[in-house]
Structure 1
């Protein structure tokens, strides 16, 4: 959530951010009103409580009619204090309820608009001309069947649509990707983490996934636990309710976890293959930094994503995501989109978001710098979302006979294998 002082000092900036997100601007004024009631009722409570304490000192010294009058006044004050306390609590609860509905402040350089209003910042790699090579590219599902690597039919039989098995070399390819991604992250100074897949409500809410993204979250009613859609959630909550000394920053973690998403708003999208699924594995980078360092850290995360996709020898572009497509926690987000030959377009493979102080305020994660204790900044960046990365590798590195060339970075993790060969029917 944002700083209430900033809201009071510059409400027009918050209104502009809400407008850029395409969200309700009236929420800002409702929040300002609730905050004013919270503050004024707090002052009223403090004044009445001070009067009550002063009166309490006079009563033992009084006698007769004076004491009776003071006791009568004390009774009325007690009722007034109780009412003021209730009013203060009610106003505070309303303020908090409205505050958590407000998205993070959009960075001023973010392009304004919806999903298609992004700005392309750069492109990398060469897009293959399959026609010049003399064959039409196969899609990842056909290649996965040729290689004995992907089985969506049995995935659907066992679990339903948007589930799958990775088999044989497909399973080995996932393990190779995960090991290579963790190796890169570790070399860059990240601490590898295996994170819980189930979290408590305060962890999920604290990272901002129970607002506009709640429809995509799986909830276990009996246990009141949520299945995570990304290890960003447990990594953000890892230091919940803690104060971190400034000399420990930056803290960088690379989490590996299964991820679960309902994909509630994706009916009819990417129904073929494994590009958009309900369960997948992912390696996620997560950073805790001082707020003034967040923009520089954001660029570092983006550079590590560039290095990863370049090492996989994939053509990709970097986009500056538009304001209406940021998600509530992000102030700014960059996506790296790989070229998918059979779709003839770039598709998101990795993403990195600067969440500034938004998550740390909700999760009460703070930094101690000398005598000052303040919220810190959190950032996240996908390094490898496994199924989508497999899609991009199979389609971009396929050969005419259905075999697939293995990028050099993965060969040590595949026993030196240079090519994934078709299996016998």
Structure 2
């Protein structure tokens, strides 16, 4: 029997009713992602068999109840055959219940592996098949050979990778002196700008239960990225999206209060599994970093506009930091499990001669809300699943772009004007060789 007291109860991560009405939508989404489109047929088959099993169970249970009433009112001579029939029915009910539960488990297992259905218009293909939507700012003509962010960080007394590795291993680091002040200033700037735009500032827990991590879609294809503490059965989050998504789990939100907008500041942890040999120098790809993450609960009808607002707030932040960047529409095969559409802002990194991701903003439609059972009541009073969206507003990696784009020939870095009040200085000056 399911925990809800009824066999085969499901918390669907894909709307099965919508799938029955339009299976081609899932098929097209799977093909765009480079995934198996036959999963739609497997789901339809399991769904049909599951519903048939439930119908049989309900019919047999009704018959069993009727037989029970007949036994209680039967005469002594009628009772024995009726009891025998009731016993047979009881066995059949148990078998039907077990079959419904088995099919529900099979259906849930397949559903759990199916990524969100992409939004119409998202580019098909893999990591290199994105569409460039816009560019802002031109890469600066430096007039000298630029130093990379690690060399600059060492000159400024801002980044210490060697001692990070000594203390914790590869891909760990210390931000020291002005490096620590730069990160704190950057994140404070993001938090204050978000608060001014109506976001509620949050400092969330960074250890979460399996149902929270799984509910946000990070225990599927992303599971190798996640740190797990087996003794406590808790997970370290790779983004505050995870605890912020779990914040309203199993709640029905007031529709007239939507959207709920939160900005979470948290340390983030990623194993970087599969990234051996990639970005091993400096702080581009590390195991621990800090991030300010926007998270929104809204309705499906408002989600597209809200997604563009998140992108707009990200662009405002990058413009204030005077960073050249481009906006890309991420291809379906690079969306991850939960996102239906994702826009990235990639800043220019002079020493790499390339744009590198600084922000992402994703519309996860009702994918996470279904898993976490987050609903609101529509104007008719009917509960509907909420839509969740997320977007980066600042993170440790931004230091890379700030240092490299604003460096001077002598190794100093002139901070963008908007950031200066938060760091407490205009220029970061070299401090000499490492101690």
Same fold (TM over 0.5): yes
Give the 3-state SS of the residue equivalent to 1:46 in structure 2: helix
Partner of residue 129, structure 2: 117
CA contact (8 A) 1:245 1:369 kept: no
Partner of residue 421, structure 1: 429
**CA RMSD of the aligned region, Å?**
0.9
User: How far 1:265 moved relative to its partner?
Assistant: 1.6
Partner of residue 238, structure 2: 229
Partner of residue 321, structure 1: 330
CA contact (8 A) 2:118 2:332 kept: yes
Partner of residue 5, structure 2: none
Give the 3-state SS of the residue equivalent to 1:126 in structure 2: coil
Distance 2:130 2:310 in 1: 19
Whether 1:257 and 2:257 are equivalent positions in the alignment is: no
Distance 1:93 1:40 in 2: 15
User: How far 1:8 moved relative to its partner?
Assistant: 1.2
Whether 1:330 and 2:330 are equivalent positions in the alignment is: no
Give the 3-state SS of the residue equivalent to 1:115 in structure 2: coil
Q: Specify every segment of 5 or more residues in structure 1 that has no aligned partner in the other structure, as ranges.
A: none
Give the 3-state SS of the residue equivalent to 1:117 in structure 2: coil
Partner of residue 374, structure 1: 384
**How many aligned residue pairs are there?**
420
Give the 3-state SS of the residue equivalent to 1:230 in structure 2: coil
Q: Deviations over 1:299-331 (max 9, x none)?
A: 000000000000000000000000100001000
Whether 1:199 and 2:208 are equivalent positions in the alignment is: yes
Distance 2:253 2:128 in 1: 39
Mapping 1:23-102, distance limit 5 Å: 23-102=35-114
Distance 1:56 1:310 in 2: 74
User: How far 1:19 moved relative to its partner?
Assistant: 1.3
User: How far 1:365 moved relative to its partner?
Assistant: 0.3
User: How far 1:66 moved relative to its partner?
Assistant: 2.4
User: How far 1:93 moved relative to its partner?
Assistant: 1.3
Which of the numbers 370, 391, 395 marks the counterpart of 1:385? 395
Which of the numbers 104, 129, 141 marks the counterpart of 1:129? 141
TM-score by length of 1: 0.98
CA contact (8 A) 1:52 1:78 kept: yes
CA contact (8 A) 1:144 1:170 kept: yes
CA contact (8 A) 1:294 1:354 kept: yes
TM-score by length of 2: 0.95
Q: Specify every segment of 5 or more residues in structure 2 that has no aligned partner in the other structure, as ranges.
A: 1-12
Distance 1:203 1:22 in 2: 27
Q: Deviations over 1:343-378 (max 9, x none)?
A: 000000000000000000000000023421110100
Give the 3-state SS of the residue equivalent to 2:128 in structure 1: helix
Give the 3-state SS of the residue equivalent to 1:183 in structure 2: helix
